[in-house]
Amino acid sequence: MGEFIDGPLWTFSVSVFAIGVIWRIIAIVKAGVRTDLSQPRGSSGAGAFRAVFSRFIPERTVTQRGRLQFVAGYMFHLGLFALLIFAKPHVDFIAERITGFDWPAMPHWAFIVAAEFAFAGIIPLWLHRLLNPVTRMLSDLDDHIGTVLVFVVMLTGCLALAQSFEPLRLLHLFLAELLLIYFPFSKLMHAFTFVLSRGYTGATMGRKGVNA
């Protein structure tokens, strides 16, 4: 069981993840943009580039009316990505299994702070999704599966923090593999596609000469 999780299932899940993500991105890119015959009033490329970054800053109405989602959302995403990329066990694991080289990892205290942020973010966000009538109506099964998977991967990761009990590590790895397999077929793809959607809007607006 442990060997299966550590070996074949890992290879399979990473393959599914990589192929799936590339396939979906290519599919979106290949769909292309509608040809616009009008005279361009600005650069679509600059507009796309600007939009990708300017959309990180939310509109004022969002910061006011959706303060919980705004604050908790940033806490969760920043914490999660810090953990994913700069946690020492992850750096070691990725260096050993994928890249072959490593990079400086976070010190232990930063690791803990990032984990606190991520947990303090995801739990209220998940509850908000379940409790708020509007978000509950908007959410479908995919949203809930994605949230639950990310949450249990984070939770088992924190349970395995002692790094000395093989069953806990395998549980974390197994759930992470499930997440990787599920990833390309779900809304979790927004981790990559946000660039395309923002870019599309930004390019359209940029071409029209609208600074938006």
Partner 1 sequence: MARMKFYCDPERCIECNGCVTACKNENENENENENENEVPWGVNRRRVVTIKDGEPGERSLSVACMHCSDAPCATVCPVDCFYTTADGVVLHDKDICIGCGYCFYACPFGAPQFPKDGAFATRGKMDKCTFCAGGPEVDHSAEEHRKYGSNRLAEGKLPLCAEMCSTKALLAGDADVISDVYRKRIINRGASVLARGVSFQDASFRSPRDVSGKSSAKE
Partner 2 sequence: MKQSTRTTGFVAGIAWLIGVWLISLLVSLPAAVAEEPNAATKAPSVQLMNPAAELWRDVRQRTVPSSGNTQVKGVDSGVLINTNGDRWRHFRMNQLIPIGGYVLGGALLALLLFYMIRGRVPVEGGLSDRKLLRYSNYERTIHWFIAGVFIFLGLSGLILLFGRPLLIPLIGKEAFSVLASASKEGHNLMGPVFLISLILIFVRFVRRNIYQKGDLTWLLRGGGVIGKKHVPSNFFNMGEKTMFWLLVFVGGTIIVSGFVLVSPSLGHPREWMELAHVGHAIGAVLMITVIFGHIYIGTVGMEGAIEGMKTGYCDLNWAKEHHDLWASQAEKNSEALPNDEVARLRGDFDRLPRDVSIEEAGK
User: Any contact of residue 40 with partner 1 (CB under 8 A)?
Assistant: no
Say which residue the tokens 């660039």 belong to: 195
User: Any contact of residue 158 with partner 2 (CB under 8 A)?
Assistant: yes
The site partner of 128 among partner 1, partner 2, none (C-beta below 5 to 8 Å per kind) is: partner 2
Report the C-alpha gap between 98 and 142 in whole angstroms. Answer: 29
The site partner of 195 among partner 1, partner 2, none (C-beta below 5 to 8 Å per kind) is: none
Number of residues binding to partner 1, judged by CB under 8 A: 8
Determine the Cα angle at 183 with ends 180 and 187, to 5°: 160
User: Any contact of residue 28 with partner 2 (CB under 8 A)?
Assistant: no
Q: Which listed range, 5-13, 77-85, 164-172, 197-205, lies at the site for partner 2 (CB under 8 A)?
A: 164-172
- Let me know if 42 is exposed, middle or buried by CB neighbors in 10 A (0-12, 13-18, 19+): middle
Q: Taking the complex as a whole, how short is the minimal distance between the CB of residue 162 and partner 1, in angstroms?
A: 7
Report the C-alpha gap between 90 and 153 in whole angstroms. Answer: 13
User: Any contact of residue 148 with partner 1 (CB under 8 A)?
Assistant: no
Query: With DSSP H G I counted as helix, E B as strand and the rest as coil, what are the percentages for the chain, rounded to 5?
Result: 80, 0, 20
User: Any contact of residue 137 with partner 2 (CB under 8 A)?
Assistant: yes
Check the CA dihedral 156-157-160-164 and report its sign. Answer: positive
Report the C-alpha gap between 71 and 67 in whole angstroms. Answer: 6
- Name which of 26 and 131 has its Cβ closer to partner 2: 131
Report the C-alpha gap between 172 and 156 in whole angstroms. Answer: 5
Q: Taking the complex as a whole, how short is the minimal distance between the CB of residue 116 and partner 1, in angstroms?
A: 10
Report the C-alpha gap between 110 and 149 in whole angstroms. Answer: 24
Q: Which of 29, 33, 68, 112 binds partner 1 (CB under 8 A)?
A: 112
* Interaction pattern, residues 58-97, with partner 1; x per rule: CB under 8 A: ----------------------------------------
User: Any contact of residue 1 with partner 1 (CB under 8 A)?
Assistant: no
The site partner of 212 among partner 1, partner 2, none (C-beta below 5 to 8 Å per kind) is: none
The conformation of residue 183, written as its DSSP 8-state character, comes to G
Q: Which residues bind partner 2 (CB under 8 A)?
A: 68, 112, 115-116, 119-120, 123-124, 127-128, 131-134, 136-137, 155, 158-162, 164-165, 167-168
